[in-house]
Amino acid sequence: MAELLRCKSCGYIVEASRVGEVCPACGVPRKNMEAWKDPVAVKRRLFLSLDIHPILLHFAISFAASAFVLSLFVLILPQLFRQTVTGLLRGFVGVLPVAVLASFITGLFDGKTRFRRTTTLLLTRKKILGAIFFLLACAAAVLTYAVGPYVTWVRIADAVLLAG
């Protein structure tokens, strides 16, 4: 493992070989940096370096944002590219609960790996928000597939749910 340095001023951690005369983050002289040992085990660090949770989280957010924009598009211009836009909306809304669930599960695993527990106040709040996000995504999917995307009140309900 490479030798690491931590800036005493800003807390930035960097490989010693990548540091010049100043901290790359805040610009203080290198003499204000100290040797630092990573407290995370090598196996745990390897898993965390894969960034699985952030990637899946961005997928879920992208699906939600895309579905929201498409639901507004369908509301504002219902006859413009009706089949194509509605098909895309159904696809995004259908995949969204799966993406949210995958993000939620990897978030729990990531929290357990990174912090060794998932009961901290911040992680508890994230779990509650993730559960709400999942329920909203499921509600939008059920409405879109059970009632149909062409009903005006379903379009409005989808837009409201996806805005949440």
Domain ranges of the chain: 4-39, 44-163
Q: pTM score > 0.75 for this model?
A: no
pLDDT value for 1: 58
Extended strands (E) in the chain: 4-7, 13-15, 33-36
More reliable by pLDDT, 49 or 8: 8
What CATH number is given for 4-39 in this structure? 2.20.28
| 131 pLDDT higher than 90 | yes
Strands 4-7 and 13-15: antiparallel
Per-residue pLDDT tens for 132-162? 999 999 999 999 888 877 778 888 888 888 8
The Cα–Cα gap between 135 and 139 comes to 6
Q: Are 7 and 41 a contacting pair, CB within 8 Å?
A: no
For the chain, give me the number of helices (H) and strands (E)? 5, 3
Where is pLDDT greater, at 98 or 2?
A: 98
